[in-house]
Amino acid sequence: PPMAPPSASGNCKDNAAGENYADINWDGLGFSLVSTDYMYVMKCAKVDKFSQGSLIPYGNMEISPSAGILNYGQGIFEGLKAYRTEDGHILLFRPEENAKRMKIGAERLCMPSPSVDQFITAVKQTVVANKRWVPPPGKGSLYIRPLLMGTGALLGLAPAPEYTFLIYCSPVGSYHQGSSLNIKVEDRLYRAISGHGGTGGIKSITNYAPVYSATAEAKANGFTDVLFLDSATGKNIEEASSCNVFVVKSDAISTPVIDGTILPGITRKSIIDIATDLGYQVMERNISVDEVLGADEVFCTGTAVVVNSAASVTYKDKRVEYKTGPETLSQKLRKTLVGIQTGCIEDTKGWTVEV
Ligand code: COI
């Protein structure tokens, strides 16, 4: 049965408004794991549907060495954030989009998935149980990480006999320590099990570790992130290690088209809508590296990174610098997006969901 949310004891302290917060340094948040109190777990057999989950204390879990996720990478994840508003509410941002994306990924990897309602209810329960970890307004957000994985044991290559849907969370601040990006275009390695019909378009866990070697090499050379190219031509940009990419030229904004090789980001989709509403022309299309090098502005979007500008992009031995700072279009878009997410700007689109 679901456990009661944490009481106002332990390492809580009262703020001026009398609300309970965990006793951590809220000014020091980056994007690293801060363990919280509870996680949500729901299991289901391959032949079944998910039905009943519960909150349990956050901690290690037992898993068979033969689990589908450990041996064959049968797993996907999601990421979304909860923000505390100035007047004390907690808002999720488009959680149904995460739920729907998880369903699509689950189908691709032959897994049962929670319904959209089950997903959203579980996310809300997780946030309520970990409420004291939602940062104060202006200090960050609670990053929520839903996982769906084959946890049943097997040996032959096949869908696992049992699945686990799990949600944990962590308070986070800025992903890139608040600085703009120096991006290296990777011309040797590709991001995901790539190409059309691959898994680049779902949030498969197997799409993420393959970025490590390119990212590590780039970081060792002073870059902040890597921009991957399409494996079919090696000419068009796809996405960075953890986020989608946009380029700005005059009043036109472009971002790579979603065709199964890049992640259909929820921040990406929201930024397209916000920019369109502001009167910009937004195009989803193939974008060559040459166009990136000729752009006025380049920026990244993602749940974790939010919206961040590129200070430079380097391709082979060519390095181009872009304008950054509060006057850029990307920062204008970021302000609108975060304003909606934090309840400071009226949400006319029904994107925010109160917990
Ligand atoms: C997110 O933005 O939610 C992500 O999944 C990025 C992650 C690789 C940190």
Atom 7 of ligand 1, nearest CA residue: 242
pLDDT at 10: 35
Indicate the pLDDT class of residue 194, thresholds 50, 70 and 90: low
Ligand 1 pocket test target in 32, 142, 242, 270 with most atoms within 8 Å of CB: 242
Sequence length of the chain is: 355
- What pLDDT, on the 0 to 100 scale, is given for residue 19? 56
Ligand 1 atom having least distance to the Cα of 175: 9
The strand pair at 281-285 and 252-256 is best described as parallel
Residue of higher predicted confidence among 195 and 144 = 144
ipTM of the complex: 0.97
Active site residue 203: yes
Pocket test of ligand 1: the residue of 303, 305, 308, 341 to mutate, having most ligand atoms within 8 Å of its CB, is 303
- Cα–Cα distance, 12 to 14 (Å, whole number): 7
Backbone torsions φ then ψ of 291, nearest 5 degrees: -65, -35
Backbone phi and psi for residue 36, each to the nearest 5 degrees, phi listed first: -115, -165
Q: What is the pLDDT of residues 54-83, one digit of tens each?
A: 999 999 999 999 999 999 999 999 999 999
Whether pLDDT at 3 is above 80: no
Distance 227 CA to ligand 1 centre (A): 15
**Which tens digit of pLDDT belongs to each residue from 45-56?**
988 899 999 999
Looking from the CA of residue 77, the nearest atom of ligand 1 is 5
Distance from Cα 18 to the centre of ligand 1, integer Å: 33
Decide if pLDDT at 17 tops 50.
no
Residue 163, pLDDT score: 98
How far is ligand 1, taken at its centre, from the CA of residue 290, in Å?
27
User: Which amino acid, 281?
Assistant: Q
- For CA atoms 33, 36, 42, 43, give the dihedral sign: positive
Write the residue with the smallest CA distance to atom 8 of ligand 1. 242
Instruction: Assign 193 a pLDDT band (cuts: 50, 70, 90).
Output: confident
CA–centroid distance, residue 139 to ligand 1 (Å): 19
Residues 285-299 have pLDDT tens digits of 999 999 999 999 999
Nearest CA to ligand 1 atom 6: 242
* 299-337 pLDDT per residue, tens: 999 999 999 999 999 999 999 999 999 999 999 999 999
Instruction: Determine which residue's CA is closest to atom 5 belonging to ligand 1.
Output: 79
Ligand 1, residue 145: give the atom nearest the CA: 3
Provide CB contacts within 8 A for 110, sequence distance 6+: 74, 159
CA of 13 to the centre of ligand 1 (A): 30
| Per-residue pLDDT reduced to its tens digit, 89-120 | 999 999 999 999 999 999 999 999 999 999 99
- Please pick, among 46, 49, 203, 318, the residue that the annotation labels catalytic: 203
Q: What pLDDT digit, counting tens, does each position of 145-179 carry?
A: 999 999 999 999 999 999 999 999 999 999 988 78
Q: Considering the chain, what is the average pLDDT of its residues?
A: 93
Q: What local confidence, expressed as pLDDT, does residue 179 receive?
A: 85
In sequence order, what are the residues at sequence separation of 6 or more whose Cβ sits closer than 8 angstroms to the Cβ of residue 179? 224
SS3 of the chain: the string is CCCCCCCCCCCEEECCCCCEEECCCHHHCCCCCCCCCEEEEEEEECCCCCCCEEEEECCCCCCCCCEHHHHHCCEEECCEEEEECCCCCEEEECHHHHHHHHHHHHHHCCCCCCCHHHHHHHHHHHHHHCHHHCCCCCCCEEEEEEEEEECCECCCCCCCCEEEEEEEEEEECCCCCCCCEEEEEECCCCCCCCCCCCCCCCCEHHHCHHHHHHHHHHHHCCCCEEEEECCCCCCEEEEECCCEEEEEECCEEEEECCCCCCCCCHHHHHHHHHHHHCCCEEEEECCEHHHHHCCCEEEEEECCCEEEEEEEEEECCEEEECCCCCCCHHHHHHHHHHHHHCCCCCCCCCCEEEC
Q: Ligand 1 centroid vs 8 CA: distance in angstroms?
A: 31
Which atom in ligand 1 lies closest to the alpha carbon of residue 304?
2
Q: Which amino acid is located at 138 in the chain?
A: G
Express as a percent the part of the chain with pLDDT over 90: 87
Give the pairing type, strands 237-240 and 225-229.
Answer: antiparallel
Place of tokens 């082979």: 316
Q: Which is the closest atom of ligand 1 to the Cα of 241?
A: 8
Tell me the average pLDDT across 335-348: 96
Residues with CB under 6 A from ligand 1: 79, 208, 242, 302-304
